[in-house]
Chain A
Amino acid sequence: MSEQTEITLDELRHLVSERALSGETVLLNMGPQHPSTHGVLRLLLELDGETVVNCVPDIGFLHTGIEKNMEAKTYEKAEVMTDRLDYLNTVGNNLVYCLAIEKLADLDVPPRAQAIRVILTELQRLASHLVWLGTHALDMAAMSTFLYCFREREMILDIMEMCSGQRMMTTYFRPGGLWRDVPVGFETAVRQFVRIFPARIDQYESLLTKNPIFLDRTKGIGIISAEEAIRWGLTGPTLRGSGPNYDVRKAYPYSGYEQYDFDVPTATSGDVYGRYVIHVEEMRQSLRIIQQALDKLPYGPVRSNNRKYVPPPRSELGVSMEAVIHHFKLWTEGFSLPRGAVYLPVESPRGELGVYLESDGGPKPHRVHYRTPSFVHLQALPLLARGHLVADLVAIIGSIDIVLGDIDR
C-alpha cells in the first residue's frame, strides 16, 4: 500500500471548529456503510455530547462516471445509463433525457405517448415516495409502515415490468415517444391500483400522522426557512415544506402536464413533519393526475414517425428499401442532433431534475450533465442538522429524500 492513502489531518483542519482541535468536541465518523444514511454516504460529525456541532458530508463512493461514459455512446445507447442514476426514479431520468433530445431536435411526441409518459412518471413518483415513506419511518423505528409501503410498491413495479419487461431499469421512454405501446391489461392494472391506493394512503397515515412518537421525532426538527431554502437551491418537497409554491410541472409544464388538474401542496413549518405531510399529499395528487390521464388516454401511435430520429417498425423492413436504410443508419451510426445546448428541468420525486445536454452536431452527446436534486439537497444538510441530536440527524437525512446514485452519478 502506498503511504498516501490516508488524508492528513491538516487537510481537514479547516472543516472543523477550534473546539474539535482542542479536544473539547468529539469527531465521529458515520457511514459510509450505515443503514440510515440511505446508501453509501459518509458523514464526519463533530459532536458536543450528543449534539451535532457540525457535519461534513463526504460523497463519491457511488461515482460511476456516467456523464463521461455517455459522451462515448450514441444518444439512444447512452439513454440506458440514465436509469442507473436515480434508481428510484428511472422513468423520470429517461423522460428528462428524451425531452432534452426532443427539444434540440424539435421532435414531436404523439399525444398517446405523452399521456402514457405522464401515467408512468406519476406511478414512479408514487413508488419513490413509498420507498421514502417506508425507509423514513423505519429510521424512526416504525417497522410496519415499511412492509406496507413495499407491498404497494410491488404493484407499481409489476406495472413497469408489464410495459417494459423490467421492474426498475426500464428505458421505456425513447426519443420521440415510447419503446412500444403498453400491453393489453395495462389500463386494468393501473385502474385497479388507483382504486385501492387511496385507502392504503389512509392506512399509512393512521400509522404515522397522529402517532405521538412520530410527532415527537419530527416536529420542530431540521427547520429551514423559505429564504434559506431558496438561497440553497432546494426544490421539490423539501422547498415546498418551507412555503414556496414551486413545482416544475406547474411552472414550466412539459409532456402535457398543463392539461391535468392537480394541486401543489405546501406547508409552512419547514421541518421534517412538514416534508412528511407534503410527501403524503403529493401521493394523493399523483393519483388524481393518473386518473385524469387514464380517462382521456387517446388512441394512436406511440412514437414519432420522423425517420431521421426514430427507427422504422419491424413490419416495414420487409417491404420498404428506405426503411431498411433508415434502420441500418440509426442502429449503426445513430442520429445526429443540431449543434446546441439545452437545460431542461422536470419535477422528479425529489425536486428539480435538470439535464444539461450539449450537442456538437455529431451522433454522440458532447456533454451531458444531470443537475440532480439530491446533490443540491445534501449540501444543505449541515445547515439543517446543526444543534440537533444525533438521533434527529437520521430523521433529517431521511426527510430531505436523497438517493446516493443520484448524488454521485
Chain B
Amino acid sequence: MEHLTLVIQALQERFAAQRCDFCGDPSWLIDAAQLVPACRALRNEFGFEMLACQTASDYWPQMSPRFHVVYNLHSLTHRTRLNLRVPVEGDNPVVTSIVSLYPNANWHEREIWDMFGIRFDGHPDLRRILMPYDWEGHPLRKDYPLGYEEPQFTFNFDEIARRKHRGRYEEA
C-alpha cells in the first residue's frame, strides 16, 4: 500500500495526474503528452512490468473530450494495479503508442483503432485486427448503429458492396 501511495504522489507531482471521481477502482487522469514519460517512469522506477489491459470508452455525446483510453498496469513484484485514463478529443483522435515500452500493447492498440478509430502515434503496424480490413466505421463508437444491416445475398451483393464503399460513416 505504501508503494502505491508513493507512485500516486509521483504521478501527481511529476505528470500532473488527477484523480478521476468514479466509483469502483480509483483511476488517474493523465494528459496525452505525459503518457509515455509516465509509463516509462512507472515501468522502470516503480516496477509496473506488465500491461494488464488497455481499452477505450466513448462518452459521445455527453462529454468532451469524447474518448478515454484506459490502461491497467500491473506490478507483479508489488502486487498492485494502477488505472490510467487518457482523455482524447473526438476530431482526429491520436494518442502516443506505448508499444516500445509494453510490446503487448501492439494488438490492444490495433483493437482500439479498429473499434474506436483512435490512432496511435508511433505504432509499427496499425491495421484493423478484428473487423474485415475494408470495413468502414468503428463499431464500438456510440454513434455507430447496432445491427439493422441488410444481409448480402447473391442477388443484391453488388448493390450493397457499392453502398458500403460510398462511405456511410463519416470518419470523425
Contact = CB atoms under 8 A, between A and B. Distances in A.
Instruction: Report, as a range, how many residues of chain A touch the other chain.
Output: 35 or more
Contacts, number: 110
Contact of B55 (A68, A251, A356): A356
A232 interface: yes
19 contacts: A11-B127, A14-B124, A59-B130, A60-B128, A63-B130, A63-B131, A67-B115, A68-B139, A104-B23, A104-B24, A231-B104, A232-B103, A233-B51, A343-B53, A343-B72, A345-B52, A369-B53, A371-B53, A376-B107
A358 interface: yes
The DSSP consensus for interface residues of chain A is mixed
Contacts of A231: 49-50, 102-104
B53 A356 contact: yes
Interface stretch (B2-10, B11-19, B86-94, B157-165): B157-165
A72 B148 CA distance: 13
A236 to B, nearest CB: 13
Given A232-B104, A354-B53, 10 more contacts: A11-B127, A14-B124, A60-B129, A71-B146, A231-B102, A341-B24, A343-B83, A358-B57, A367-B55, A379-B107
Contacts of B81: 343
Interface of A: 1-2, 4-5, 7, 11, 14-15, 59-60, 63, 65, 67-69, 71-72, 103-104, 230-233, 244, 246, 251-252, 338-343, 345, 352, 354, 356, 358, 366-367, 369, 371, 375-376, 379-380, 408-409
B106 interface: yes
Contacts of A352: 52
A141 B159 CA distance: 48
Interface in B94-122: 102-104, 106-107, 115
A60 B129 CA distance: 6
B65 to A, nearest CB: 16
Given A2-B161, A2-B162, A231-B102, A356 B134 contact: no
A2 B50 CA distance: 43
A251 to B, nearest CB: 6
B125 A341 contact: no
A369 B71 CA distance: 12
A110 B107 CA distance: 39
B130 A408 contact: yes
A4 B165 contact: yes
Contact of A69 (B27, B83, B106, B146): B146
A379 B109 CA distance: 12
B36 interface: no
B125 A15 contact: yes
Contact of B24 (A63, A342, A369): A342
